[in-house]
Amino acid sequence: MQSSTADTAQNTLATASHTEAGHHGDHPDHRIFGLYMFLFAEAMIFLGLFAAYLTFRSVAQVWPPQGTPELELLLPTVNTVILVSSSFVMNRGNKAIRNNDVKGLRLWFAITAAMGLVFLFGQGYEYFTNEFGLTDNLFTSTFYVLTGFHGLHVTFGLGLILVVLGRSLKAGRYTSESHFGPEAAELYWHFVDIVWIVLFAILYLF
């Protein structure tokens, strides 16, 4: 840094005025970047809960504790398939809006919402028909808290989809240029989906 400061100042000044032109409007949109970080933090909560669950399980002598009724597998598997495929459905919605096809966006998002709803109903049905309660033992407690916390996220994701659907009714709200809403909703939905896959694997399968 021994070179004359004034020189560097002039150089940097030159570059500054060059780049000015490429910069239009207000400041660029960083929301997706921020959303990724938010999802990272969310993932850490789930990771913490999963780690707790796995620890309980690995130090226990019998798991699930004696007297825990068998988990029904059929319904959750169907549910899993529905939730996972809904991610692909939703992706088509975003592809549509990238081609300025608002109708397509609405269609695919509506289907996704319906699938999400089915998932939630399935989950609710499971809660009602399960033969065990929240406080029966360590397994049942973790089962309800983990699936419940995930269910909360599904509900929130569903809310996002509905908001996007509502807004898409306004002409020109989403275009191929500007579609943060659908994009964010999709990212969130994928996240909820991935969490479910892990959850399903460690709670039901193994």
Partner 1 sequence: MKLPTSITTLIAGILVTLISLWYGQNHGWMPEAASREAPLVDNLFNVMMTIATALFLLIQGALIISIIKFRQKPGDNTDGPPQEGDIGLEIVWTAIPVVIVMVLSIYSFEVYNEMGGLDPAASKDPGPQKTAVVPGTAMAATLPGQEKLALGVGVPPNLQGNNAIVNVDVLGLQYAWIFTYPDSGVVSGELHVPTGQNVKLNIVAQDVIHAVWIPQFRLKQDAIPGRDTQLRFKPEVAGTYPLICAELCGAYHGAMRTQVIVHTPEEYDEWLQSQIAAKEQGDGLTIAQIMADNDNRLARHTQDWNISPEAIAALQEMPHSLDSHHLQHL
Partner 2 sequence: MTSTSVEPKTSPPEPERHWKDFFGFSTDHKVIGIQYFVTSFFFYLVAGLMATSIRLELATPEPDFLGAENYNGVLTLHGTMMIFLWIVPTGAAFANYLIPLMIGAKDMAFPVLNGIAFWLVPPGGVLLLTSLVINQPPVAGWTSYPPLSLVSGEVGEMMWILSILLFGTSSILGGINFVTTIFKMRVKEMSLYDMPLFCWSMLATSLLILVSTPVLAGALILLSFDLIAGTAFFNPTGGGDPIVYQHMFWFYSHPAVYIMILPVFGLISDILPVHARKPIFGYKAIAYSSIAIAFLGNIVWAHHMFTSGTPGWLRVFFMAATMVIAVPTGIKVFSWVATVWGGKLRLNSAMLFAMGFVSMFLVGGLSGVMVASVPFDIHVHDTYFIVAHFHYVLFGGSVFGIFAGIYHWFPKMVGRMMNETWGKVHFVLTFIGFNLAFFPMHILGLQGMPRRVVQYDPSLTTLNQVCTVGSLILAVSTLPFLVNAAWSWFKGPVAGANPWNALTLEWQTSSPPIIENFEEEPVLWSGPYDYGVDRERDDEQSVSELLAEVKAQM
| Binding region for partner 1 (CB under 8 A) | 1-2, 59-61
- 8-12 long-range Cβ contacts below 8 angstroms, 24+ apart: none
Closer to partner 2 by CB, 148 or 166: give it.
148
Q: DSSP letter for 179, please.
A: -
Which partner in partner 2, partner 1, none is near 30 (CB below 5 to 8 A by kind)? partner 2
Q: Nearest CA to 164 among 87, 112, 85, 106?
A: 106
CB of residue 60 to partner 1, shortest distance in Å: 7
The verdict on 25 binding partner 2 (CB under 8 A) reads no
Chain position carrying tokens 């969130």: 188
The verdict on 56 binding partner 2 (CB under 8 A) reads yes
What distance in Å separates the CA atoms of residue 100 and residue 167, rounded to the nearest whole number? 15
CA–CA distance from 31 to each of 84, 156, 180 (Å)?
A: 25, 18, 8
The verdict on 65 binding partner 2 (CB under 8 A) reads yes
What distance in Å separates the CA atoms of residue 16 and residue 26, rounded to the nearest whole number? 17
Q: DSSP letter for 67, please.
A: T
CB of residue 59 to partner 1, shortest distance in Å: 3
Q: CB burial class (10 A; 0-12, 13-18, 19+) of residue 205? A: exposed
Which partner in partner 1, partner 2, none is near 68 (CB below 5 to 8 A by kind)? none
Which partner in partner 1, partner 2, none is near 61 (CB below 5 to 8 A by kind)? partner 1
In terms of residues, how long is the chain? 206
What distance in Å separates the CA atoms of residue 147 and residue 53, rounded to the nearest whole number? 12
CB of residue 63 to partner 1, shortest distance in Å: 11
Closer to partner 1 by CB, 2 or 19: give it.
2
Which partner in partner 1, partner 2, none is near 19 (CB below 5 to 8 A by kind)? partner 2
**What residues line the site for partner 2 (CB under 8 A)?**
1-2, 5-6, 8-10, 12-13, 15-16, 19, 27-28, 30-31, 33-34, 37-38, 40-49, 51-52, 55-56, 59-60, 65, 134-135, 137-138, 141-142, 145, 149
